[in-house]
Amino acid sequence: MKSGTVTIYDIAKVSGCSPATVSLALKNDERVAQKTKEKVLKIADELEYRPSYFGRSLITGKSNTIKVVIPDIHNPVFANIVDGIEQYINQTDYHVLLDVTYNSREREQDSFSSLLHKQVDGIIISPIYEKEVTKYIQEKRIDTEKVIYVGIPCSGYDKIHYCTSDSKKGAYMGVKNMIENGCKRIAFLAPTIIKRQGARRKEGYFEALEEFGLVRDKNLVIVCSQNFSEIYQRTSRLVQEYKPDGIFCLYDYATFPVMKAVKDMRLCVPRDLMVTGYDNIDIVEFLDKPLTTVDPHQMEQGYRSAELLIAMLQGNKCAIRNVIEPTLVIRETTRQIQ
């Protein structure tokens, strides 16, 4: 036996048949006699044969690997998406190559080079710079059957498949719930980090206001950085100057400084002020004041996007738009005091 790797040639030698037959036998091809198959399999097992994926990929042109591109792994939103992807991919014979861009526009584009290198068969990406990425895909004429966006729809190019949840509707539901619980002056707190979905959620916010005949008040729409202390300060000012009776936050994390600011002003949630978040990250259920929030089902988005990509790679046609319905999870921060 050779010192290094065991190849089909080694099996061929021992079994007395040709490499081609061994290859076919290992794939359980019909054309090979049952007896031969058994012999080959037995020898392969004895020699602890492992197929070389490189050799195989070189000739087939497939890597059985997909790339997952996210801006951040720290953020539970993306961790949940990856979780869903892994859950699906684990059931297949594909592998996941992880690429974290740390919000870099350049890295986001670079991530496609492995697709061009044919090092991966497809890409699931949750782009921060969606417009730029979309433009890049168009310019480079990247095969759109190999790409899927997760967590965000694709704008301005109707060839790219995506799987997301309806952000506008989610925000609408969240705001509507506060209105139905008596809120008349609902603020919209939008830290800029997710301009991605922010615009859509704002639409949902406005829609709910309109439906219930509440006036838009510019002063109640706060755009700020995602910095905790900035959110804290902007909230304090907002509450002091414009006295909202509800705050809709663009994502759950932002509610931490918000709640703190409100508490420090000796106001009580939900009595004096209701608060709603977005994402339903798992801890908000166990906070001192369990948070009402919109659940965009990120894990499911991840799972579904993986399912779609694999289906496409296998040549199936899939719907371009895949939208999951968000769910409103009502907890204490919007519970009407009896």
Shortest distance (Å) from residue 73 CB to a second copy: 5
The 10 Å Cβ neighbour count of residue 14 is 18
Q: How many residues bind a second copy (CB under 8 A)?
A: 49
Q: Return the range that interacts with a second copy (CB under 8 A); candidates 116-124, 176-184, 186-194, 314-322.
A: 116-124
Residue 222's H or E segment, with its range, is: strand 221-224
Tell me phi and psi for residue 19, to 5 degrees.
-55, -40
Q: Are 174 and 327 in contact (CB under 8 A)?
A: no
**Is 315 near DNA (CB under 7 A)?**
no
Q: Which residues contact 243 (CB under 8 A, 6 or more apart)?
A: 185
Q: Are 164 and 152 in contact (CB under 8 A)?
A: yes
Shortest distance (Å) from residue 46 CB to DNA: 15
Q: Spell out, one character per residue from 41 to 80, where the chain touches a second copy: x when CB under 8 A holds, - when not.
A: ---------xxxxxx-xx----x-x--x----xx-x--xx
**Is 184 near a second copy (CB under 8 A)?**
no
Q: Return the range that interacts with DNA (CB under 7 A); candidates 14-22, 74-82, 285-293, 328-336.
A: 14-22
Nearest to 41 by CA among 53, 52, 29: 29
Ranges within 18-37 binding DNA (CB under 7 A):
18-21, 23-24, 26-27, 30-33, 35-36
Place of tokens 């996941």: 96
Structure tokens at 27: 């794939």
Nearest to 180 by CA among 255, 89, 246: 246
Residues in contact with a second copy by the rule CB under 8 A:
5, 50-55, 57-58, 63, 65, 68, 73-74, 76, 79-80, 82-83, 86-87, 90, 95-100, 102, 107, 113-114, 116-119, 228, 253, 256-257, 259-260, 263, 282-283, 286-289
